A = this chain, B = another copy of it.
Amino acid sequence: MNCPKHVRINEVGPRDGLQNESAWVDTEDKIEWINMLSKTGLPYIEVTSFVHPRWIPALRDSLDVAKGIARSEHTVYAALVPNLIGLEHAAEGGIDQACVFLSASETHNQKNVNKPIDRTVQELRRVITEAKAEKMATRAYLSTVFGCPYEQNVPIEQVIRLSDTLLEMGVDEISLGDTIGAANPLQVIAVLEALLPRIPAIKIALHFHDTRGTALANIIPALDMGITSFDTSSGGLGGCPYAPGSAGNAATEDVIYMLEQMGIDTGTDMNKLLYAAGWIADKIGKDLPSRNLQAFRTK
């Protein structure tokens, strides 16, 4: 198989992980955890979400978190921004990269942002334009690419159409999300075969949830097809509040263990990653799904 020399791991735990936790994590603890993650060498950390606190109360301290963290020059600090107000707060918080989000299936988009896809696209276009004016990097999440909890199969034509739209808006990266963790390696191949003739591999990230244990397996054909950017979360925290039965993201430690064993550099320190994942597990007060964390703790 083809293997890249280097892969970029995008840590989404502080956002995608915590947004789904019922336990409140104190602002100073979020900051300490993010600072730990920065010291692991991770090149990208999504630190919070500037959505209205009514929707995601677990991240209602987004501005304090963004302002409170220590910055590493090697890390890009990103945040989710749903609209222009969110973007304003993100800019005030010194966020480097603004992430917008959109579902590939109409029902999930409606449940997620209370708007149809076409109106969401109009809003995102304004956010992306403004983010660029603020000199921020941009990323678009396209959710439910590999399956929708409401509509089941999502037509590849819809994924192509929305990817084209996002690219045409000028986003720097599109993260294709397996929101419900239902993807399989052949589906990854099929989606990438459809998109790679239109979008350069360098602009695509893959965002797998591990609901059915297939997240790492899905990364293998993607690597072979030239994808070098993957979203993961510390300890395997995460899920989607609007996708019943969905589980955590691929665990950062598990993905990095596999890649490093394959001789693929991620620029990170495994001991520090394990420590950070164990630390947040203790703060939340539950076991996290990361296999490497479990092995480390039962040694």
The residues of A with any CB-CB pair to B shorter than 8 Å are 1, 3, 181-182, 184-187, 189, 210-214, 216-217, 219-221, 244-245, 247, 251, 254, 257-258, 261-263, 289-292, 294-295, 298-299
Contact partners of A187 in chain B: CB under 8 A: 261
Give the Cβ gap from A180 to chain B, nearest Cβ, in Å.
9
Q: Report yes or no: A257 in contact with B295, Cβ–Cβ below 8 A.
A: no
- Find A211's partner among B3, B217, B289, B295 (CB 8 Å cutoff): B295
Q: Report yes or no: A262 in contact with B186, Cβ–Cβ below 8 A.
A: yes
Task: Give A217 to B262 CA distance when docked, in angstroms.
Answer: 12
Q: Report yes or no: B298 in contact with A213, Cβ–Cβ below 8 A.
A: no
Which residue of the partner chain B has the closest CB to A254?
B213
In the assembled complex, 25 residue pairs joining A and B whose CB atoms fall closer than 8 Å, in A order, are: A1-B185, A1-B186, A1-B221, A184-B262, A186-B261, A210-B291, A211-B295, A212-B257, A212-B292, A213-B254, A213-B258, A213-B290, A213-B291, A214-B254, A216-B216, A217-B217, A217-B220, A220-B220, A220-B221, A245-B298, A247-B291, A247-B294, A247-B295, A289-B291, A289-B294
- Find A292's partner among B1, B213, B289, B295 (CB 8 Å cutoff): B213
Task: Give A210 to B289 CA distance when docked, in angstroms.
Answer: 12
Which residue of the partner chain B has the closest CB to A186?
B262
Which residue of the partner chain B has the closest CB to A219?
B217
Decide yes or no: A220 and B185 within 8 Å by CB, A212-B291, A245-B298, A258-B212 being known contacts. yes
Q: Report yes or no: A213 in contact with B1, Cβ–Cβ below 8 A.
A: no
Q: Report yes or no: B245 in contact with A212, Cβ–Cβ below 8 A.
A: no
Contact partners of A258 in chain B: CB under 8 A: 184-185, 212-214, 217
- Find A186's partner among B3, B210, B212, B244 (CB 8 Å cutoff): B3
Contact partners of A289 in chain B: CB under 8 A: 291, 294
Give the Cβ gap from A245 to chain B, nearest Cβ, in Å.
5
Contact partners of A261 in chain B: CB under 8 A: 182, 184, 186-187, 214
Contact partners of A210 in chain B: CB under 8 A: 291
Task: Give A247 to B289 CA distance when docked, in angstroms.
Answer: 13
Give the Cβ gap from A125 to chain B, nearest Cβ, in Å.
35
Decide yes or no: A263 and B213 within 8 Å by CB, A221-B1, A245-B295, A247-B295 being known contacts. no
Which residue of the partner chain B has the closest CB to A260?
B184
Q: Report yes or no: B214 in contact with A257, Cβ–Cβ below 8 A.
A: yes
Known pairs A212-B291, A216-B216. 12 more at Cβ < 8 A? A1-B185, A181-B295, A184-B261, A185-B262, A186-B263, A212-B295, A213-B254, A214-B258, A216-B217, A244-B299, A247-B294, A289-B291
Which residue of the partner chain B has the closest CB to A182?
B261
